Structure 1
Amino acid sequence: MLDPHRLSVFRSVVAGGSVQAAADNLGMTSSAVSQHLSALARETGLTLFQRAGRGIAPTQAALELAAQSEEAMSQWGRLDSVVADLREGRSGRLSVGYFSSAGAAWMPALIKRLTFEHPDLTVDLVLNELASRNITPDIDVVIDPPEGGGRAGYRHVPLASDPFVAVVPAEHELAKVRSIPLADVRGETWVSNDLAGSLGHRIVVSACAAAGFTPRFRVQAQEHFSAIAFVAAGVGISIMPRLAARLLPPEVTRIRVTDPTPVREISALVRETARPNPSAQRLLEMLLELNAHPTRRGRSADA
């Protein structure tokens, strides 16, 4: 079994580019760093570094080991945190997955409230748009795929329907109306706000197909904040979830979309465990309460 500390020192050398840089960053001597590298090379049976001028350079095997060990080191760091919690008397830990717009709109207030009620609770927040499949949060706030389907070991709890809206420059002629058929923006310059092939992108493209056209994305912003900035600059319009368009600069306005209205369904996946998880259940209650009262979500009732 590989020694996690040696692996951590090795990763520091790869990241820093030299033994001396790793020694400075880790507060060690260069001799101690070199000894760890030699021991790791013996453990793995790999040539990890080769001479390059006056220094060393990682081999391809070393680069692959550094990349593949990232997740393992992250999990080891989490285990260290668990041990620290136990040592310091903190009574619980909750792992919560979320996507970016739900994270910005919901999580700060909910986690503040939850940790006020449970001051000994440690909450780990994981952006599930980027997280590894090996991450198993206690609660995962997700967008349901249009084709349906759950996740093994989790209970599915619907939270909210989140309609998409048109985000347009405030000076645009469309800004004067309260709602617009989706087909009426087919000729506009479109700014994407999600990755191609993602759930959100597929929902928009499917709705456009139902309206009889295929959108042409001239700008691939691929996330909401940049897309809103492009719209504010007058580059084009964007069709995005209302939750992502809840806070807009004065140069931008949002409009209801109809005929059809693209909608994403948001749910909580709650991990099923042998022992009840009170903090997970409490957060679920908060999520359900929040989405039972739309005005508490920071959303405008007119969009």
Structure 2
Amino acid sequence: MLDLHRLRIFRSVVASGSVHAAATNLGYTPSAVSQHVAALQRETGLALLERAGRGVRPTSAGLALAAEADELLARLGAAEDLVAGLRSGRAGTLSIAYFASAGVMWLPAVVSRLSSEFPGLRLDLRLNDEAPDHPDERADVHLVVARGPLTVGPGSVSHHLRDDPYVAVVPRGHPVADLAQVTLVELERERWIDNDSARGWCRRILLDACAAVGFRPVFHVEAHDYRAALAFVAAGVGITVLPALTAEQPPDGVVVVPVARPAPVRSIHAIVRESAAGTKAGQMAVELLRASSKS
């Protein structure tokens, strides 16, 4: 295997035109440069330099090796830049998995800032409501919804971002629109609009709260996401109950009313792989998510 250090010195001799000039440029003694070049010739079994007046010039084999050394050293420089970028968080990949409402409300600002701070970083964004059980299948930063405190296994850390209480969204002019809060029982006979086609934790938390007061809502319309459900409410089709985060930018024609007795609450967490938690980009992603969740 060729010695990379000797290749550097040989390339300097070719570029400088003499052993003495290369030694001056590199800060070595001429004897040390000559020894490295001689060792490289023994390694390759090739005559790489020949005398030319007071200096040296590369042989045809030396010219070919010098050209190859140029490409090799350029690739090495690029690799060194990549390593430095990975250490500082400026390069590499950061994957972020999220659920729909976080993607709409938080991710645009988070991604914009990360892209500005780390222009060489590739962001891999995934819509995924629930974190896989196996840590290796999770994103570097995985936003998840849970019923309460979250426990993660080895290899990951969990950050609680916020508790998100549920609210009722009703058409303007609805009998409960002017209330400070509304109980779930008061909404039992309404025309309910479903808002979670994934049938994930968010829906289960709501159904469990309804079951706690003795009913299960009858969904007259099944919308596939929160925005569609809000649009149906604005059109006067019925009411919907969903997490407050999803109703922070409601359409015209609707009123948002807090839900009470019981008050369903979902807990939002960021699960971060330890390998990402040690990078500047991963740390900033968590900081930005914390800030977004509190705004």
- The runs of at least 4 consecutive aligned structure 1 residues that moved more than 4 Å come to 130-135, 145-149
Residue 16 of structure 2 corresponds to: none
Hey, what does 2:99 align to over in structure 1? 99
Q: 1:260 to 1:145 in 2, by over 3 A?
A: closer
Aligned length in residues: 209
**C-alpha offsets along residues 164-191 of structure 1, whole Å, 9 cap, x if unaligned?**
1001111212212221111110110100
Tell me the residue number matched to 2:282. Answer: 280
Letter in 1 for 2:287: E
Aligned residue number for residue 125 of structure 1: 125
Deviation, 1:196, is 6.5
Residue of structure 1 in register with 2:112 after alignment:
112
**Cα distance in 1, alignment partners of residues 95 and 198 from structure 2:** 28
Corresponding residue to 2:246 among 232, 244, 249: 244
1:248 to partner: Cα distance = 1.1
Cα 1:192/1:141, change in 2 over 3 Å? same
What is the TM-score normalised by the length of structure 1?
Answer: 0.63
**Aligned pairs (5 A) from 1:175-190:** 175-190=177-192
2:124 is paired with a residue of what secondary structure? Answer: strand
* Structure 2 Cα separation of the partners of residues 102 and 241 of structure 1: 11
Pair 1:193-2:195 in alignment: yes
Where 1:159 maps in the other structure, the secondary structure is strand
2:273 corresponds in structure 1 to: 271
* CA drift at 1:152: 5.2
- Structure having the higher Rg: 2
Decide whether aligned partners of structure 1 residues 250 and 275 sit closer, same or farther in structure 2, where only a CA change above 3 A counts. closer
Give SS of 2:189's match. Answer: coil
- The TM-score normalised by the length of structure 2 is 0.64
Q: Which moved more, 1:114-123 or 1:177-186?
A: 114-123
Equivalent AA in structure 1 for residue 111 of structure 2? I
Maintained 8 Å contact 2:131/2:138 = no
3-state SS in 2 of match to 1:175: coil
1:111-154 per-position Cα deviation (integer Å, ceiling 9, x unaligned): 11122122222211111139988743110011124595435532
Which residue of 135, 140, 143 corresponds with 2:142?
A: 140
The answer for unaligned runs of 5 or more in structure 1 is 1-82, 297-303
**Residue correspondence of structure 1 range 29-40 to structure 2 within 5 A:** none
* Residue matched to 2:45: none
Aligned counterpart in structure 2 of residue 253 of structure 1, from 252, 255, 262: 255
Residues of 2 paired with 1:280 and 1:155: CA distance?
12
In structure 2, what is the Cα distance between the partners aligned to 1:206 and 1:275?
34
CA distance in 1, matches of 2:113, 2:198: 36
Instruction: Provide closer, same or farther for how the CA distance between residues 219 and 273 of structure 1 changes in structure 2, counting only shifts above 3 A.
Output: same
Superposed, which structure 2 residues align to 1:1-303 within 5 Å? 91-129=91-129, 135-145=137-147, 148-151=150-153, 153-195=155-197, 197-273=199-275, 276-291=278-293, 294=294, 296=295
Structure 2: gaps (5+ residues):
1-78
Measure the CA separation in 1 of the matches of 2:276 and 2:161. Answer: 24
Native 8 Å contact 2:131 2:144 kept in 1:
no
Partners in 2 of 1:247 and 1:240 — Cα distance? 13
Aligned residue for 1:227, secondary structure, equals helix
Aligned-residue Cα RMSD (Å) equals 2.7
3-state DSSP of counterpart to 1:174: coil
